[in-house]
């Protein structure tokens, strides 16, 4: 820019000025040359005519006085320095003149064309260059005519034009010197003028380079209202718009980065060559990819070698069609992913493929649980309904006549009906909790006092089964923010299980204490216990350790599941410890309600 644009402008500017000066100079010199030549020719013609008129009468005489004419010509030429004058008679003989070498003769008569033309009555003017000296000369052959227009002689003049061309050379030298001075001044002015253009352009270039480096605070100070000023204004406008646009792009990029980084789905992007260009953290975890961003670029065959066949990947990149596939991942194939392949194209040409891994493990597990739930509900309802149907059919077939049988059958029907009612109630409770339709009426309550109330409800049943009920409760309050009815249901479910599976002569112990910001309540029994392999599943719906005995005792398999949902809805936790043939302890903890912390 510094040596280029400014130099080009000044050079072009100087060439234009030089061309204009050359053109005007040539025109001036040519005009002066023509002017001086016309004036010189006019002067020579006037002198020649004057001489012709003066010697006409001598040329008409029969006996011409050559010596007189020669002296007359000499006197006449003395007044015209640089001019040679000769006079010839009508026969072409030289009568007088200083130099006869400029005329061609044959037999004493002239044979030169211009003189012959003059003898024929024509005036001849010509400019010739002396081949020996290179000097230009003006030649004039002027016929001298009598009163009757008859040619009586010729005045022949040869004048040097060297003084004219010497003057023209001096004028040219003056012009060239003037051109040089003007051109030098023009170049200086040109450099000064072009600086008003190139300096702002260099400033724009410099600030544009700074913008390319990421500095968008660049501004141009507008000093004029011309095109350069408009350029500065447009640069400032462009800077503002570009800054705003890049901020928007950066914001959108950050949003996309945040979405990709924190989304649970794995996302992998491949370029058209099938090499990885982006993996979000979820995809790295799924594919067990530990490389840094700089180590990206692995081909899809290497990245997916554990989950896809090479021919599948090759087919995917060749066809470039969207598709979905479900795969199992993990050492034990325990994870289920739905993989979506989405090609992205530009003008119909495949530019790459986006692969999204969506974890459907929980969905599939939930779907399986739903199927099991429907099967369990159907099974739980089918058994009492079948029993009721069979007993009613028996009664209708005549057994009702026997009052003892009728009473016993109706008692069985009542028992099975109560069991179904309890099952439906438990299902409704779970459904309301699942769909967040449960109304929670939470209030501060003393957990110890609530436990005493509940123990009073089951005390008679414990005595009837010869089971000893112990309560280990602290003397100070155990404040908890809870829904009394829901926590009462949890306690009754736990105590109901303890009573069902604890034989006569056994013990049930209920304890409560503060523990690390929580109130923990435990229900421990000395019952039959639970096998270790079943402990993890006891909180599942319809799960029974001893299915036959549980059903005989009227259990629905939903008690612990309901207890777990209620406790977790209070922000608490519940867990179970058990040893086979030794007993079971179920503990749930609820957040301690500290008024000072509110």
Q: Rounded CA gap, 117 and 122, in Å?
A: 5
**364-419+426-431, what's its fold?**
Helix Hairpins (1.10.287)
Give residue-wise pLDDT tens across range 356-406: 888 888 887 777 777 766 776 676 677 778 878 887 888 788 777 777 887
Q: How far apart are CA 67 and CA 74, in angstroms?
A: 10
Report the DSSP pairing between strands 335-346 and 349-359. antiparallel
- With tokens 């598709």, the residue in question is 323
Non-local (6+) Cβ contacts of 516 within 8 A are: none
Mean pLDDT rounded to a whole number for the chain: 81
**pLDDT reported for residue 108:** 47
- The pLDDT of residue 294 is 46
Task: Tell me the C-alpha distance between 69 and 52, whole Å.
Answer: 11
Q: Which long-range contacts (CB under 8 A, 24 or more apart) does 453-461 make?
A: 453/488, 454/488, 454/491, 454/492, 454/495, 455/510, 457/492, 458/492, 458/495, 458/499, 461/499
pLDDT of residue 63: 62
The CATH number that domain 441-591 falls under is 3.30.565.10
Query: Which pLDDT score, from 0 to 100, does residue 321 have?
Result: 75
CB 87 within 8 A of CB 154: yes
Instruction: Check pLDDT > 60 for residue 109.
Output: no
Q: List Cβ<8 Å contacts ≥24 apart for 461-467.
A: 461/499, 462/499, 462/508, 465/499, 465/502, 465/504, 466/504, 466/505, 467/499, 467/502, 467/504, 467/505, 467/506, 467/507, 467/508
pLDDT digits (tens, 9 = 90+) for 298-323: 777 777 766 676 667 777 777 767 87
User: Ranked by mean pLDDT, which of 252-266, 312-326, 491-505 comes out on top?
Assistant: 491-505
Residue 514: other Cβ atoms inside 10 A: 16
CA distance 348 to 553: 69
The whole-number pLDDT of residue 556 equals 65
CATH code at 261-359: 3.30.450.20
Cβ 430 vs Cβ 558: under 8 Å:
yes
The H or E element containing residue 248 is helix 227-262
Q: Which residue has the higher pLDDT, 422 or 468?
A: 468
Angle among Cα 387, 389, 392 to the nearest 5 degrees reads: 105
Check whether 551 has a pLDDT greater than 70.
no
What pLDDT, on a 0 to 100 scale, did the predictor assign at position 400? Answer: 73
Which one, of 32, 69, 322, 356, lies nearest residue 167 by Cα?
Answer: 32
Task: Look at 86-100, 494-508, 522-536 and tell me which has the smallest mean pLDDT.
Answer: 86-100
Higher pLDDT, 77 or 502: 502
| Per-residue pLDDT band at 246 (split at 50, 70, 90) | confident
Cα–Cα distance for residue pair 497/584, rounded to 1 Å: 10
| Nearest-angstrom CA–CA distance, 159 and 386 | 154
Strand ranges inside 416-566, DSSP E: 442-446, 468-472, 479-483, 507-515, 518-525
pLDDT interval class at 591 (50, 70, 90) = very high
Q: 260 is written with which tokens? A: 């990709």
274 contacts 317 by C-beta, under 8 angstroms: yes
- Angle, helices 484-501/559-569, rounded to nearest 10 degrees: 150
CA of 469: how far to CAs of 112, 232, 459, 472, in Å?
A: 166, 92, 7, 10
CA proximity to 282, closest of 261, 300, 305: 261
Confidence of residue 331 (pLDDT cuts 50, 70, 90): low
For residues 241-245, give the mean pLDDT. Answer: 82
Q: 261-359: same fold as 5-168? A: yes
| Residue 295: per-residue pLDDT | 58
CB distance 354 to 344 below 8 Å: yes
Q: How confident is the model at residue 106 (pLDDT cuts 50, 70, 90)?
A: very low
Is 5-168 in CATH node 3.50.50.60? no
Mean pLDDT of 473-488: 90
Answer whether residue 595 shows pLDDT above 70.
no
Query: Is a pLDDT exceeding 90 seen at residue 238?
Result: no
The residue extents of the domains of the chain are: 5-168, 217-260, 261-359, 364-419+426-431, 441-591
187-222, pLDDT tens digit by residue?
888 888 877 777 777 777 887 788 777 777 777 777
Residue 550 has pLDDT above 50, yes or no: no
Q: In the predicted model, what is the mean pLDDT of residues 78-102?
A: 75
Per-residue model confidence (pLDDT) at position 597: 45
Q: What confidence category does residue 586 fall into, taking pLDDT thresholds of 50, 70 and 90?
A: very high
């Amino acid at each position: 820019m510094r040596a280029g644009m400014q130099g080009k402008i000044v050079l072009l500017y100087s060439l234009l000025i030089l061309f204009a000066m050359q053109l005007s100079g040539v025109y001036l010199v040519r005009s002066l040359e023509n002017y001086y030549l016309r004036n010189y020719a006019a002067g020579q013609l006037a002198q020649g005519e004057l001489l012709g008129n003066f010697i006409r009468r001598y040329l008409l005489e029969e006996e011409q006085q050559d010596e007189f004419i020669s002296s007359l010509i000499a006197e006449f030429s003395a007044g015209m320095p640089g001019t040679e004058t000769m006079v010839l008679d009508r026969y072409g003989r030289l009568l007088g003149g200083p130099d006869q070498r400029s005329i061609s003769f044959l037999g004493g008569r002239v044979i030169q064309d211009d003189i012959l033309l003059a003898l024929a009555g024509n005036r001849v003017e010509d400019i010739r260059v002396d081949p020996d000296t290179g000097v230009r000369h003006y030649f004039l052959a002027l016929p001298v005519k009598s009163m009757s227009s008859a040619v009586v002689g010729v005045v022949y003049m040869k004048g040097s034009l060297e003084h004219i061309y010497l003057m023209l050379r001096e004028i040219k030298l003056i012009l060239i010197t003037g051109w040089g001075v003007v051109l030098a001044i023009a170049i200086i002015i040109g450099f000064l003028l072009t600086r008003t253009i190139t300096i702002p352009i260099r400033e724009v270039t410099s600030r544009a380079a700074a913008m390319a480096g990421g500095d968008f605070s660049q501004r141009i100070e507008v000093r004029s209202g011309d095109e350069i000023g408009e350029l500065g204004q447009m640069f400032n406008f462009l800077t503002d718009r570009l800054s705003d646009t890049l901020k928007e792009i950066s914001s959108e990029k950050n949003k996309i980065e945040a979405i990709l980084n924190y989304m649970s789905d794995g996302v992998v992007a491949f370029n058209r060559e099938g090499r990885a260009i982006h993996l979000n953290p979820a995809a790295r975890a799924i594919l067990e990819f530990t490389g840094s961003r700089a180590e990206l670029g692995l081909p899809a065959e290497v990245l997916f070698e554990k989950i896809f066949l090479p021919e599948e990947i090759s087919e995917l990149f060749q066809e470039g069609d969207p598709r979905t596939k479900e795969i199992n991942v993990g050492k034990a194939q325990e994870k289920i992913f739905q993989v979506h392949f989405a090609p992205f194209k530009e003008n119909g040409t495949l530019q790459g493929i986006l692969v999204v891994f969506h974890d459907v493990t929980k969905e599939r597990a939930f779907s399986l649980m739903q199927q099991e739930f429907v099967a369990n509900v159907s099974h739980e309802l089918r058994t009492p309904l079948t029993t009721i149907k069979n007993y009613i059919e028996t009664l209708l077939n005549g057994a009702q006549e026997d009052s003892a049988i009728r009473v016993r059958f109706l008692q069985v029907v009542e028992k099975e009906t109560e069991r179904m009612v309890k099952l439906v109630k438990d299902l409704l409770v779970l459904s309301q909790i699942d769909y967040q339709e449960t109304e929670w009426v939470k209030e501060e309550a003393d957990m110890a006092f609530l436990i005493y109330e509940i123990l009073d409800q089951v005390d008679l049943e414990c005595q009837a089964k010869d089971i000893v009920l112990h309560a280990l409760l602290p003397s100070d309050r155990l404040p908890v923010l809870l829904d009394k009815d829901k926590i009462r249901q949890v306690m009754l479910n736990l105590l109901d299980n303890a009573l069902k599976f604890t034989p006569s002569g056994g013990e049930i112990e209920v304890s409560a204490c503060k523990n690390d910001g929580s109130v923990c309540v435990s229900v421990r029994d000395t019952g039959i216990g639970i096998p270790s392999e079943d402990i993890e599943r006891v909180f599942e719906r319809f799960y029974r350790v001893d299915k036959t005995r549980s059903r005989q005792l009227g259990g629905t398999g939903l008690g612990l599941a309901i207890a777990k949902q209620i406790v977790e809805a209070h922000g608490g936790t519940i867990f179970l410890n058990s040893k086979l043939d030794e007993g079971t302890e179920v503990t749930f903890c609820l957040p301690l309600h500290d008024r000072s912390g509110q």
